[in-house]
Structure formats: C-alpha cells, structure tokens
C-alpha cells in the first residue's frame, strides 16, 4: 500500500462548522481551482454546485432522481437527468477540468467503469464515498451481526441504493489497478473533520467515515 507516499497535505484545512455547507462539500470545493469547468455527477439538489458557483466555477450536474434535477433547475443550475452508469459515455474526452462524484460511487452498478469515465471526461476527478471500513461499521457487523447502518447511511440492506460499498483501502487498490494517480487524499471523521495527514493509512481506514480523493490520470507506462 503506497497511499502515504501519494497523499499530499491539503492546504487550508476546513473548519467543520463553516456556514451551512456540508464538510465534504467544502473540502471538495477547496480542491477545485477557480475559473474551472466542473461536472458534478450525482449532484442531488445542487448544494455543491451552488457552493462552486459562489466561487466563480462553471458547474454542470447530472442527477438520477427527477425531483433532485427539477429542484436544481429551479435554482437556475445547469443540471440534467441522467445515470452515472449509462450517460457518462455521451460526454467527450477532456470536456471538463474536474468531474466530481460525491457520495455516489457506491450506488453505481460498475464503479470501476464509472471511475474510468470520470478521468476520461475530466482532466481530474474528485471522488468521495462512505468508508465501509469505519469502526462503527465494523462493530455493527462484528458485534451486532447485522449490516451496518449509520446516521449518514440509514437505509436497510433491502432498500439501500448503495450496492457497491468499499473501504478506503479497497478504493486505493482500485486506483492502483486502473493506473490512476492520487494527487490528494483526505479522510473525514464522523463530524466531517479531516483527519491529520500524518496518521497511518490503517488509522484512516478505521476512523475515517468517508474518503475524499483528488485523482488524475497517471502518465502512460507508469
């Protein structure tokens, strides 16, 4: 596992109680350069897109649920109804500076294909997902003997849209396999605060409730 070498510290760590924006959204927004063009895949009701707009970023969105899309469009956002699994193929190569997949990877049918598409469409990708290796998850399975449910993931196993859970460790392995370079990696604790960067990876995988990764294409031959 080479994650520690690949991880770069994030400048300007974000306080968890900044305004009304979600911690992971603020973190993602910090990773995006001003003036860039961004596609938010699975943009929900457009909270992140609105945050990006306040920072002069040209944001577009795709959202699966009709209600979510219509709320976004009613906020004046450029959002289309679509499915990460089937509709990313319609976007040309290098169409965006960043493609963001926020808390959606685990709900896709083919996370690997989706990830590959993100880095085809965008020069960089920002992916955040709930860490199934989080200690609360482990305890529920180990001690409780049932599928874990948390405040952020309250659905029962039979009605959850999340069909491909992974741990931070699993995700890092996938990135290695498909030749993706991790430019930054941050784990957020259960309060949405970033964990200290000098902690060992197993600690992140245990105490990070979610992982946020800034990815780019590794140079060919590497």
Residue 99 interacting with another protein (CB under 8 A): no
95 binds another protein (CB under 8 A): yes
**Choice from 10, 80, 197, 199 touching another protein (CB under 8 A):** 80
Asked whether the beta carbons of 32 and 51 are under 8 A apart, the reply is no
Sign of CA dihedral 134, 136, 140, 142: positive
Contact flag: residue 78 with another protein (CB under 8 A) = yes
Of 13 and 73, nearer to another protein (C-beta) is 73
47 binds another protein, rule: CB under 8 A = no
30 scored as a contact of another protein (CB under 8 A): no
CA–CA dist 26, 108 (Å, integer): 23
Q: What is the dihedral of CA 56, 32, 92, 71, to 10 degrees?
A: -60
The secondary structure element, H or E, covering residue 180 is strand 180-188
- Least distance from another protein to the Cβ atom of residue 122, Å: 12
Q: Check if the beta carbon of residue 185 is closer than 8 Å to that of residue 26.
A: no
Instruction: Single out the residue of 57, 84, 91, 187 in contact with another protein (rule: CB under 8 A).
Output: 91
Between CA 122 and CA 152 the distance in angstroms is 28
Q: Where does this chain touch another protein (CB under 8 A) — which range of 5-13, 25-33, 90-98, 140-148?
A: 90-98
Q: List contacts with another protein (CB under 8 A).
A: 37, 58, 60, 66, 69-70, 72-82, 87, 90-92, 95-96
């Amino acid at each position: 596992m080479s994650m520690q070498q690949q991880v770069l510290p994030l400048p300007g760590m974000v306080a968890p109680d900044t305004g009304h924006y979600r911690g992971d959204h603020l973190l993602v927004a910090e990773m995006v350069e001003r003036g860039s063009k961004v596609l938010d895949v699975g943009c929900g009701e457009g909270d992140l897109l609105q945050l990006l707009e306040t920072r002069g970023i040209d944001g577009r969105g795709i959202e699966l649920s009709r209600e979510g899309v219509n709320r976004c469009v009613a906020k004046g956002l450029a959002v289309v109804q679509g499915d990460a699994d089937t509709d990313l193929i319609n976007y040309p190569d290098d169409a965006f500076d960043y493609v963001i997949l926020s808390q959606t990877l685990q709900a896709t049918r083919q996370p690997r294909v989706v990830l590959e598409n993100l880095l085809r469409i965008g020069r960089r990708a920002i992916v955040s997902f709930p860490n199934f290796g989080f200690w609360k998850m482990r305890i529920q399975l180990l001690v409780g003997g049932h599928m874990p449910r948390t405040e952020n993931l309250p659905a029962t196993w039979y009605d959850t849209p999340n069909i491909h859970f992974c741990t931070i460790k699993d995700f890092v392995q996938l990135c290695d396999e498909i030749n993706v370079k991790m430019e930054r990696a941050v784990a957020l604790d259960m309060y949405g605060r970033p964990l200290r960067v000098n902690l060992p990876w197993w600690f992140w995988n245990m105490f990070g409730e979610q992982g946020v990764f800034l990815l780019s294409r590794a140079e060919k031959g590497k």
